[in-house]
Structure 1
Amino acid sequence: MNWEYNTIWFDQIDSHKRFIWDSKKKITQTPVLTGVEYLFLWHYKVTEGNFNEIPEANDCRYLDITFSNIKDFSGIKRFTDLKRLHVDYCLKLESDRGLADLKDTLEWLHIEQSKKLTSINEISVLSNLKVLSLNNCGPIESLNFIQLLPHLIDFRFVGTNILSGDLTPLIEHPNLKSVGFLDKRHYNFKSKAIDAIFKEKANEDSFKDYVYKGEYRTFKYK
């Protein structure tokens, strides 16, 4: 079960390819991350507020950073083959600066519970993105930026306010097949209306690029 699937059973991944680094647990020396493809950083504290202090993991394709004090993504270019990035409960994150360095590799970006984050300037240049989640983040001016993400298939912004209220870019996107958001009074479409539109699209193209594997909506993005 690899990083391309929505749900990953990590017990099916070779143990030498994954590493959990919990900074609340004492580590006597910096571990060697060569060969690690799935890296989890929990409670990782940095002095500069970015990725420059995080040890290099050139083989890493899946990075999960949770409860860190990062403020931006400067230095993340050191993860040269990163395909999927999860950022959870990084409450001090305030800028997407540095993400543009992943424009040639990153296909999946998930950011959740970063209320200070309102910048999408560099997210908008991640032209290879297939899956984007900006859940419970700071307000975003508009959704126009998704037109710059031609390969986007799945987009979530649950709990994140779109200030313009215009959800038309979701409908107009040529490849978007699934969205998730909470209804707001100033939005020009309700979630049920958007769902109906995407169901109609699904009947038209059979979701050719959206391949389901198994149960519990475990699907793989081609």
Structure 2
Amino acid sequence: MLDGPYFITDSEDGLGKCFVLTSPWTDDFIDIITEEKIVAVRITEKAAGKGGDISFIEKLKDIGLLSMEIFAWSVRDLTPLTFFPGLEVLGIQCDFVKAPDFSNFSQLRILKLIWRPKATTVFYCSSLEEINIVNFPDEDLGKLSGMTELKRLQLTSRKLLSLSGIEFLEKLQVFDGAYCTKLRGLAGLEKCKNIQVVELQACRKICDVSELGELNNLKDVFLIDCGKIGSLQSLDNCGNLENLFFPGDTNILDGELTALFEMPKLKKLTFANRRHYSHKREQFNVRDSDPTSFS
């Protein structure tokens, strides 16, 4: 029941059952978690309370949890997470001032967090395959260069100026940058030859996306509310492109869309019609879709 002290749902990352704690902790929950074969626990604001104390999670250290999510702004101390060195998934949304050494989570595959100054050791998590950082703190991606197993990178940032460092992420398949308001270009991304998906949202300082034309495995491109972009003609080289979206205020300045007719695998296309475009959206014999359904 969603209005009870807890509810059980499927974990977002497909690991199994997730126990969502929506009330203060009692030891009665231990038997439920054990009997239901829970592999993921999510702690909400109501569970942490005004004091933000999550020390009770130590009582779950022998259950074999694979995922832990702390979604409670009141939590200031994350050091109780040290009792779970085998975590594969970690989600953090809180104002923490104390944290474990995240690099000690040697099996961590997926990390999602809102940035805090005490999170710096996440840059040494070499096992990560997916990372999502809200408010990424640096001007480039140099500190991520050691994450050589990374397949999915999602960032929002008001400080990021360039993608320098991304070229070391040879296994990267998905790059998702949202509200990177100072990011001026995609240089370095062309080195990531396994990239299949590039999504940019509200990154209005990027005027040139020609690097995308060097990504032969590219399947999906999203350029949502990105303002003025010089041209899409570099996509001529992306023979595997299936989905292309540039809706909202994204404006392709040269207006040249003819090459899109020649893309053999293009299935879905969405953009706002503009007077200077060579063709209207309705002239393409492909499906017009809502880009949010792919995010």
Tell me if both proteins adopt one fold, taking TM over 0.5 as the criterion: yes
Query: Which TM-score bucket, shorter chain as reference?
Result: 0.7 to 0.9
Question: What one-letter code is carried by the residue in structure 1 that aligns with 2:142?
Answer: N
Question: What one-letter code is carried by the residue in structure 1 that aligns with 2:140?
Answer: N
Match 2:220 to one of 127, 131, 134? 131
Runs of 4+ in 1 over 6 A off after TM superposition: none
Structure with bigger RCO (C-alpha 8 Å, 6+ apart)? 1
Match 1:168 to one of 223, 247, 258? 258
CA contact (8 A) 2:204 2:227 kept: yes
CA distance in structure 1 between the aligned counterparts of 2:282 and 2:153, rounded to whole angstroms: 33
Q: Per the alignment, do residues 75 and 163 of structure 1 end up closer, same or farther by CA in structure 2, a change over 3 Å counting?
A: same
CA contact (8 A) 2:140 2:165 kept: yes
Q: 2:190 — aligned with what?
A: 100
- Unaligned 5+ segments in structure 1 are 1-8, 200-215
Q: 1:27 — aligned with what?
A: 118
Shift of 1:68: 4.2
Determine if the alignment matches structure 1 residue 198 to structure 2 residue 198.
no
Match 1:59 to one of 149, 152, 173? 149
Shift of 1:114: 0.8
What TM-score do the two structures reach when normalised by structure 2? Answer: 0.58
- Give the 3-state SS of the residue equivalent to 1:87 in structure 2: strand
Alignment of 1:205-220 (within 5 A): none
Question: What one-letter code is carried by the residue in structure 1 that aligns with 2:228?
Answer: P
| 1:73-105 C-alpha deviation (Å, 9 max, x unpaired) | 111123231111100000001111111221x21
Determine if the alignment matches structure 1 residue 181 to structure 2 residue 268.
no
What TM-score do the two structures reach when normalised by structure 1? Answer: 0.76
Identity %: 25
Q: 1:206 — aligned with what?
A: none
Determine if the alignment matches structure 1 residue 146 to structure 2 residue 148.
no
CA contact (8 A) 2:145 2:169 kept: no
Shift of 1:55: 6.0
Q: Rg larger in 1 or in 2?
A: 2
Question: What one-letter code is carried by the residue in structure 1 that aligns with 2:208?
Answer: S
How many residues of Structure 1 are paired with residues of Structure 2 in the alignment? 189
Alignment of 1:78-97 (within 5 A): 78-97=168-187
Shift of 1:118: 0.7
RMSD (Å) for aligned C-alpha atoms: 2.4
CA contact (8 A) 1:139 1:163 kept: yes
